[in-house]
Structure 1
Amino acid sequence: MRLAGKSAIVTGAGRGIGKATALRFAREGADVLVPDLDLATSQQTAKEIQALGRKGAPMQMDVTRMADIQRMVETAVREFGKIDVLVNNAGIVIVRDLLELTEAEWDRTLDINAKAVFFCLQAVAREMVKRKAGVILNASSISGRVGRPMLVDYCASKFAVVAITQSAALALAPHGIRVNAVAPGIVDTDMWVKIDREWGTLAGKPPGEVKRARVEAIPLGRIETPEDVANLYTFLASDEASYITGQTYNVCGGLQLN
């Protein structure tokens, strides 16, 4: 098993990519703390991890609260004794016309998708430095590679994640800590249902049309699954990726090439 004996944190693990990643880590031998804003979904993910024979610890968490970030670290150390892997997965999307985006919406997106990524990274890195080892994986997006007309705040936040990843990789390499990011494309999750609905409304398109058009543009010919993303996270968390740091990897079926 790739992650035997490892302890991990996956934020936003109650559903979607976060849940798929937490479960894949457990199948590969890791114990996993699964913080989520929704306690019920966190508890369900933890229960499924436990059914796989690993320790799964639920936790309600708001990643924008510094006290919750510190509690996350303390809980992981208390439950598992150490933190080997952090996956900064929690995120949101708001679809707005550029001329209508509010300051509050901008702040919320950047607070969750970028600011929280940094401060979760920082808090966990302080613990990892003590052991001179660790892996931190951040959720970017192919929208962190190019701009999108209805996603200016989301794109800005995901571009920021790439910069955070590169800077942290350089800062933490002397401490034996690797930092990488993953950039998913059109993933079959609740988030893309929301994007399709809101973008379609703004563009005057029927439900499903925005998503359908994007999926049709994928060279590999199918929508991405949460498990596709979890597979890449698992490799990057493993010792097989021990010489990789500071990189952002697209996992999008060829939709974004760079």
Structure 2
Amino acid sequence: MTTALITGAGRGIGKAIARRLAEDGHDIAINDIAANSDMLEQTAEELRATGRKVSTALADVSKPDEVTEMVRKVVADQGALNIMVANAGIARVTSLLEMEADEWDQVMAVNMRGVFLCYREAAKQMIAQGGGGKIIGAASIVAYRPFALLSHYSASKLGVRGLTQGAAMEWAKHGITVNAYCPGIVGTDMWDLIDEKLAREEGLQRGEALKKYSESIALGRVSVPEDVAKLVSYLASPDSDYMTGQSIMIDGGIQFS
């Protein structure tokens, strides 16, 4: 039996990924920060209805000791760690001229440092276990096409793309594949916040910024979290065993590279 750990899984894309991987037959460990503990427990109860073994681990992914303890707890609860989905992330909408260094650092701490720490600790555990593993990270369309007012977010996700390539090179000898998924515009709380702030910056009504950016989607609709979860399902499965170091867009046809 395989165990998958998904960070930032209390809601949104992380929750959809956890649900899909449970449906695929994996046992599940889900993580979020302490402030979201009630939400995380509710998600865990929903996942247990699938019949899979489900455990939870509270941790701030930007803190090394907490990530180490999170992986330790998952292995103690589940017996092993076979799939790591470093999904946790935050977004801020600020112009570069108005951005404070603290805001830059906060976005980098979660989106870049947090993915690095999750990748590293998962790899250590997988190497100790033997038998390889799957490490999967949250990048974004902005890893290929940055958005104005999201420069720090864009930089962090471009960093995840580079980290994913480097990790794939280093850990291939251990049978570990490392890939990332790059969502476009997804109907989540994060994009509601982005829409609100972009609309304010661009002098639009709430909802108009999301509509403006969505007009470039070739498939004609905003993504839902389940769209992303389907790609992660593939990356977590044996079907992707010959793929590593890739950051794959799942954006409905916005960016063509």
Question: Could you tell me how far 1:123 is from its partner in structure 2?
Answer: 0.7
CA contact (8 A) 1:34 1:46 kept: yes
Question: Could you tell me how far 1:148 is from its partner in structure 2?
Answer: 1.8
- Residue 197 (1) aligns with residue 199 (2): no
What residue in structure 1 maps to residue 82 of structure 2?
84
What residue in structure 2 maps to residue 144 of structure 1?
143
**Mapped partners of 2:85, 2:167: distance in 1:** 14
What residue in structure 1 maps to residue 93 of structure 2?
95
Render the CA deviation track for 1:110-166: whole Å, top value 9, x for unaligned: 000001100111011001012141000000000111222201100000000000000
Query: What's the TM-score, normalizing by structure 1?
Result: 0.97
Question: Could you tell me how far 1:178 is from its partner in structure 2?
Answer: 0.2
SS state of the match for residue 146, structure 1? coil
What residue in structure 2 maps to residue 112 of structure 1?
110
SS state of the match for residue 123, structure 1? helix
State the one-letter code of the partner of 2:91. Answer: V
Question: Could you tell me how far 1:68 is from its partner in structure 2?
Answer: 1.1
Question: Could you tell me how far 1:76 is from its partner in structure 2?
Answer: 1.1
- Residue 57 (1) aligns with residue 55 (2): yes
Question: Could you tell me how far 1:55 is from its partner in structure 2?
Answer: 1.0
CA contact (8 A) 1:134 1:177 kept: yes
**Mapped partners of 1:193, 1:160: distance in 2:** 24
**Mapped partners of 1:166, 1:88: distance in 2:** 15
**Mapped partners of 1:127, 1:121: distance in 2:** 10
Question: Could you tell me how far 1:213 is from its partner in structure 2?
Answer: 1.2
**Mapped partners of 1:243, 1:48: distance in 2:** 33
What residue in structure 1 maps to residue 155 of structure 2?
156
CA contact (8 A) 1:49 1:56 kept: yes
SS state of the match for residue 207, structure 1? coil
Q: Equivalent pairs: percent with the same residue? A: 41
CA contact (8 A) 2:164 2:246 kept: yes
SS state of the match for residue 91, structure 1? coil
**Mapped partners of 1:50, 1:132: distance in 2:** 27
SS state of the match for residue 94, structure 1? coil
SS state of the match for residue 125, structure 2? helix
**Mapped partners of 2:44, 2:27: distance in 1:** 10
What residue in structure 2 maps to residue 28 of structure 1?
24
- Residue 228 (1) aligns with residue 227 (2): yes
**Mapped partners of 1:42, 1:63: distance in 2:** 15
**Mapped partners of 2:62, 2:246: distance in 1:** 25
**Mapped partners of 2:203, 2:101: distance in 1:** 25
- Residue 16 (1) aligns with residue 12 (2): yes
Query: What's the TM-score, normalizing by structure 2?
Result: 0.97
CA contact (8 A) 1:39 1:59 kept: no
CA contact (8 A) 1:43 1:59 kept: no
CA contact (8 A) 2:143 2:157 kept: yes
Would you say how many aligned residue pairs link Structure 1 and Structure 2? 254
State the one-letter code of the partner of 2:18. Answer: A
What residue in structure 2 maps to residue 239 of structure 1?
238
Greater shift, 142-151 or 92-101, is seen at: 142-151
- Residue 210 (1) aligns with residue 217 (2): no
CA contact (8 A) 2:57 2:74 kept: no
**Mapped partners of 2:254, 2:145: distance in 1:** 12
Structure 1, unpaired ranges of 5+: none
CA contact (8 A) 1:98 1:149 kept: no
What residue in structure 1 maps to residue 73 of structure 2?
75
Render the CA deviation track for 1:43-93: whole Å, top value 9, x for unaligned: 111111111101111222111111210111111111111111000000000
Structure 2, unpaired ranges of 5+: none
SS state of the match for residue 245, structure 2? coil
What residue in structure 2 maps to residue 126 of structure 1?
124
